[in-house]
Amino acid sequence: MDMSSRLLVLQQLAEGCGVSTVQQGLQQVWRLLLLCLTCRLCFRLGVVSTLKHGVSALSGIYCLFLFFELHMLWVLMLCALSYLVLLLSRHSSSRGLFLSVVILIYLLVGELHLIDMVTWHKIRGSQMVVAMKAISLAFDLDRGAVDRLPSPAEYLGYVLFVGTVVFGPWISFSTYTNAVEGTKLSWLWLRSSSLSLLKSQMCLLVSTCIAPYLFPLLIPIHGNTVTQKWLRAYENAVSFHFSNYFVGHLSEGTSMLAGAGFTAEKDNIRWDMSVVKPLSVEMPRSMVLVVTSWNIPMSRWLKTYAFKNAMKLGTFPAILVTYTTSALLHGLSFHLGAVLLSLGFITYVEHVLRKKLASIFRACVLSRPCPSDCGHQHKKEYWVMLLNLVFGLLAIFHLTYLGSMFDPGVDEQEVEEGYAAIHTVQRWSELNWASHWVVFACWLFYRLIQ
């Protein structure tokens, strides 16, 4: 395809796909943004805190109705069940573990027996956010981080906070209470939330109108049958990545617009909520950093309430518990479970291998960047940077493989109901299970040099 033909196709994409995508995106969220702004203004009023919590809860309920209509009742039932368990177990010191089991049973029974698959996938995100908030509150009560059981108004205002109830992210109870106190309106607040919302629309455009046409329309790379398979897999992965960035940046914007997501240092307030770091995923140093940059609040939640509690079992079992928890929160989806458990093995093998190599070569080749005062002898030599680059390219390879199943061209009904197990097996079989074989080879190499 010559340059003039390519430009013509790009113009058609911009006029057809680009304009309609932006219009649909704004049409979906403008009422949510208005509710977030209303809630923020209400928090600034000098009224009793109970009224503020009530406005937060009612705004969240109305927002759920806008997106899910009467299906929102399943989310509200989870809210009520969680508070009832907290109330009945208020004298226990194991509220976190007990509530986690109850919520897990509720989610599994609801998905398997009570709710049809299409409906479940629509409300799954909100169910997950509410579950994470309730579980974190229970563990914080056990640890004394929250000194008392919140009142019903405080609890509902927290779990149904309009800035996070649909798109997330998870926020702690203390973050919510700081938002309710109502920091002053500022240009920085408006600019930060608006910038995140703008980023979300840009990511939506990339996911819908650019990523599916990367090769050979935008990047003229051709190849044999094997190369074409991997190029299509990379397109699918990038499209899926940017759809996640869209949700992440949108949740940043809605949270900050509603008054959450700031850090206060004396009189200096910074609106710096960060949910996703796209550059750390698309140009990664390691798979470990990819996982933490994919959804920063959820990564923090899993580390605090799953990984640390499971560390008594050992490092590798704790990693499996963490990724299993994440998979169960996402629902009984074979493709998500397969990806998350594969990530668990990949990140563990990468971590132990790079830790061993860093010890052998006394070099800064760990999964995470070393601090400036680390004890390694070799820090910025060319071979050190080359080795880190190799691991970065290996991470891109794993991401391409894992993301290959999220095909934007499959039947919409299949997406709504969740990809079937055969879809996952077929996609990875087409790529000869390459990533799993590479991880196995890396593990064997680690065992040989141990």
**Are 295 and 400 within 8 A, CB to CB?**
no
Cβ within 8 Å of residue 86, ≥6 positions away: 95, 99, 134, 137, 138, 141, 149, 155
Query: Rounded distance, CA 279 to CA 316, Å?
Result: 28
Residue of 71, 113, 222, 330 marked active site: 330
**Are 404 and 325 within 8 A, CB to CB?**
no
Residue 276 is inside which H or E element, if any?
A: none
Phi, psi (degrees; rounded to nearest 5) at 92 = -90, 155
Query: Rounded distance, CA 258 to CA 260, Å?
Result: 6
Tokens of 143: 């640890």
Phi, psi (degrees; rounded to nearest 5) at 269 = -110, 125
**Is 378 labeled as catalytic in the residue annotation?**
no
**b/e sequence 63-91, b meaning 16+ C-beta within 10 Å:** bbeebbeebbebbbebbebbbebbeebee
Is 219 strand, coil or helix?
A: coil
Catalytically active residues, by annotation: 330
